[in-house]
Structure 1
């Protein structure tokens, strides 16, 4: 039994942040019903990286396991009425519409709490639900750029490099997941529901707690350098360095220790805390010169054996077969009715008394429409009537 067994979540979100947050609730045992349009959520057809499945694309599979699918037309009276009945049975309602859309559809917090006063309503937006940027598209790259993070690495005069994954979406998802759990705990203690607002901009700002405070409290500006350096507020050497056959990640190494291991007297005079910031270009250049002379494996053995913090730079292919990743069981595999075997990242934490598992593959659009409506007590005739008039879509 999962820790959220008995909790029902209505997931009306799209793209990544909302579905990811809802999936985390599902992984903990909540009954998550993905309420999607009769044509299915657009992510079913969006080919991330060109990875087109037979019927369901990889991005949808990655964000929707352990959910049931109700496919309904909320613009039809019958579809909206069915959803409102479902709200009466729900504990959490999650959406990431643009500001104003939920109200136009009649699924805003003020409307739904009349149906379920103790409802936990989670609303995710890009920049906030009001203010000068409220109508802007809340897209990950745009928010990474706005957040200030991109000027903490790289060289001056060169374009900043964004994270190669949807960093802001992930932090927003974790924030929504955390907010939903906090609100459920509050409800357990008080019997009160509440509105949980999450915006992607605040999520990525909060993720930079240390870096931004260095600027606001310490007064230290972000300074990018010409040499290899991965973070403007970390002393050199710190970054990804080329080796004779690949790359090596090097973190918080003491120049004096490297001087001995490299046989490089020019590094010996540098003191980490004294010179690691002010003379980082010189330090990084010397480190780069030596690391390029031998293979990654050589340096992992030599530097790692001496206690220097270093590690390999993996591709996804490397990651899948890494011994620690295999040992941890970091990935899960399951059979999908249309896509065959699906392998995705698993669970970020382990619960000894209520372990997580994949009880349901990502659903086919409308796969559980009949089942969900029957759960509400609708007669077979009423269910089939909604399907026949197009208010609801049911697979099969």
Structure 2
């Protein structure tokens, strides 16, 4: 294990979140050196039992594995008085508490901000929700696809009259995780300056809405509505051609080329007298159709070479196999590999940031259910006999890697 110092070393995070957004945010904190203790039910967090894509693994499914590295697991039954008391004991010395319970659940469990701030005024308390802590939609399910649909983003691409276009990843979960991660760092900086903890509230609806800063401002400040075209344009607020196009042997992506230059490259004479910023809007469908027809006549590699020589923006359309093996991805070290005690050699996306003095790293893979229960409770001051008693009564649970 590397001895290089990390930015968040010495901070403890209690991660009471489930599914993707909360665990992903907590994992980012762990990657930077925070001691992240995953507080989960004695039967395990929900994501352990929901295998995305059917990738189940040996003892840890890939969904959980991908979102819970650099954490220790403490399995507690928070519905018992003893379990709740243990959590409150840990809160007293924690720096960050992160939860994404349904609205009202934290209060019922007695782990709401008011209660925990009274125990530890310096605590950074992060509450994540689907639509907000209150308001008419507070109890609606905070599921990624539903939030994408509500956000308006699905109608910023695709054809007029065709079904809305959801993103090909869990976009709302991912941006909410990043928002919470940013919120924790900002609140810790405030605490370093003042000694004060505070409540940080993050919701998925606001996260995906503010991600569309430019698009929504075009509508709210510029007065231009979303206008999908007859052709499969990639973004309603960008001039044609803009999107993916079929070639003789695959696909390529083409972004906002100068139309006369493009006309010369692909042999489309109608583009030669066009003004890109005018006709790219007023003749969007015609430009798309003409471009699509021409690009089908040659291979992807031939077109990419010709477009690059003309200084136009174009690139290949990858699947995951191509992405993983891309020379730039390999050069960047975008993916990391490590040994997991039960899952073997794991290859997974690494870190989206680089620090010259305090690099992110993986010190441990995702834990088993309650793998660190005895360890964490001993650090909290419980005696071996007290821990054994809690294990016997089922207040806490522990799993061995043996």
> Contact 2:267 / 2:294 at 8 angstroms: preserved in 1?
no
Tell me how far 1:52 sits from its aligned partner: 1.2
Alignment equivalent of 1:268, drawn from 266, 269, 272:
272
1:235 aligns with 2:248: no
1:338-379 deviations in Å (ceiling 9; x for gaps):
111111100001000011111011111111001000111111
Q: TM-score, normalised by structure 1?
A: 0.99
**Structure 1 residues not aligned, in runs of 5+:** none
1:201 aligns with 2:205: yes
How many residues align? The count is 396
Q: Give, in whole Å, the separation in 1 of the partners of 2:49 and 2:340.
A: 16
Alignment equivalent of 2:120, drawn from 116, 126, 130:
116
Alignment equivalent of 1:360, drawn from 341, 361, 364:
364
1:175 aligns with 2:179: yes
Tell me how far 1:228 sits from its aligned partner: 3.2
The equivalent of 1:80 in structure 2 is 84
1:19-52 deviations in Å (ceiling 9; x for gaps):
0000000011000000000001021121101111
Tell me how far 1:164 sits from its aligned partner: 1.3
Q: Give, in whole Å, the separation in 2 of the partners of 1:239 and 1:282.
A: 14
The equivalent of 2:395 in structure 1 is 391
Alignment equivalent of 1:307, drawn from 311, 320, 328:
311
The equivalent of 2:302 in structure 1 is 298
What is the root-mean-square deviation in Å for CA atoms of aligned residues?
Answer: 0.7
1:59-106 deviations in Å (ceiling 9; x for gaps):
100100000000110111211111111001100000000000011011
Q: Give, in whole Å, the separation in 2 of the partners of 1:275 and 1:11.
A: 53
> Contact 1:45 / 1:56 at 8 angstroms: preserved in 2?
no
Q: What does 1:266-345 correspond to in 2, within 5 Å?
A: 266-345=270-349
1:173-225 deviations in Å (ceiling 9; x for gaps):
01100111111111111111000000000000000000000001110110101
Q: Secondary structure at the match of 1:334?
A: strand
Q: Give, in whole Å, the separation in 2 of the partners of 1:270 and 1:86.
A: 67
1:252-271 deviations in Å (ceiling 9; x for gaps):
10110011112221111221
Q: Give, in whole Å, the separation in 1 of the partners of 2:267 and 2:318.
A: 28
Tell me how far 1:139 sits from its aligned partner: 0.4
The equivalent of 1:3 in structure 2 is 7
Q: Secondary structure at the match of 2:233?
A: coil
Q: Give, in whole Å, the separation in 2 of the partners of 1:113 and 1:267.
A: 64
Q: Give, in whole Å, the separation in 2 of the partners of 1:264 and 1:46.
A: 51
Tell me how far 1:227 sits from its aligned partner: 1.5
**Structure 2 residues not aligned, in runs of 5+:** none
The equivalent of 2:73 in structure 1 is 69
Alignment equivalent of 2:163, drawn from 139, 159, 164:
159
Q: Give, in whole Å, the separation in 2 of the partners of 1:64 and 1:180.
A: 17
> Contact 1:186 / 1:192 at 8 angstroms: preserved in 2?
yes
> Contact 2:157 / 2:232 at 8 angstroms: preserved in 1?
no
> Contact 1:331 / 1:343 at 8 angstroms: preserved in 2?
yes
- Bigger Cα displacement from structure 2, 263-272 vs 57-66: 263-272
Tell me how far 1:56 sits from its aligned partner: 1.0
Q: Show structure 1 runs of 4+ deviating over 2 A.
A: none
Q: Secondary structure at the match of 1:235?
A: coil
The equivalent of 2:35 in structure 1 is 31
